[in-house]
Amino acid sequence: MMTSLVLTVIGPDKPGLVEILSQTIARHNGNWLESGMSRLGGKFAGILIVSVPTDDANALEQALGELQGQGLKVTIERSEETGSDTSRSPILLELVGHDKPGIVREIAQALAARHINVESLDTALTSGSMSGEQLFKAEASLLAPQDLDLDELQQALEAIASDLMVDITLK
């Protein structure tokens, strides 16, 4: 029997952190399945899911906790794997516009009001090619109810972004 562990990791960015983490997982018969990791604000931060034989799970959790001595804080949650949700439709949201505090909050409120689940969200600030102004970019993978009116969602998102000159694309 296998146990799934969802790990969040954070530590000062330096070479070798992924190696330390991956060696610890492998040493305890864990299998690195999915992950997302980045350098954020001078820190190394990530989230990953590991599958490990149930008999090895406690030892792996303990070994991961001991990585704090090497500067890597690991938080562990056991996960109950569930199948994909076939009652929802996947949507990709892409947004580009001038940066403004609160845009993620406003879009998240619009999505939550329509019972849309955010599966993943990637955001970044970039310099505009022509103006040099900060542009906010977001890409989100969403799961929406089957009966969602995409035109109504598009209108709601455009209303939020109307004063920002933001381009929003739903696929």
Percentage of the residues of the chain whose pLDDT score is greater than 90: 57
What is the structure's pLDDT at 18? 93
Q: Which domain holds residue 13?
A: 2-79
Written as six digits, the tokens of 21 are: 């983490």
Does 114 score more than 80 pLDDT? yes
The reply to whether the predicted model has a pTM over 0.85 is: no
Average pLDDT over residues 16-31: 95
What is the structure's pLDDT at 29? 97
Q: How far apart are the first and last CA of the chain?
A: 38
Average pLDDT over residues 55-64: 97
Mark whether 93 and 165 lie in a shared domain: yes
Residue 54 to residue 56: CA distance in whole angstroms: 5
Average pLDDT over residues 35-53: 93
How many structural domains comprise the chain?
A: 2
Q: Which of residues 59, 79, 99 is at a domain's end?
A: 79
Does 26 score more than 60 pLDDT? yes
Percentage of the residues of the chain whose pLDDT score is greater than 70: 92
Does 49 score more than 90 pLDDT? yes
Sheet holding 117-127, edge to edge: 117-127, 134-145, 88-98, 167-170
> Nearest 5°: CA angle at 140, between 154 and 94?
55
Q: Which of residues 45, 79, 113 is at a domain's end?
A: 79
Q: Which of residues 60, 79, 98 is at a domain's end?
A: 79
Does 81 score more than 70 pLDDT? no
Q: How confident is the model at residue 171 (pLDDT cuts 50, 70, 90)?
A: confident
Does 84 score more than 60 pLDDT? no
Residue 77 to residue 17: CA distance in whole angstroms: 20
- Residue 145: CATH number of its domain: 3.30.70.260
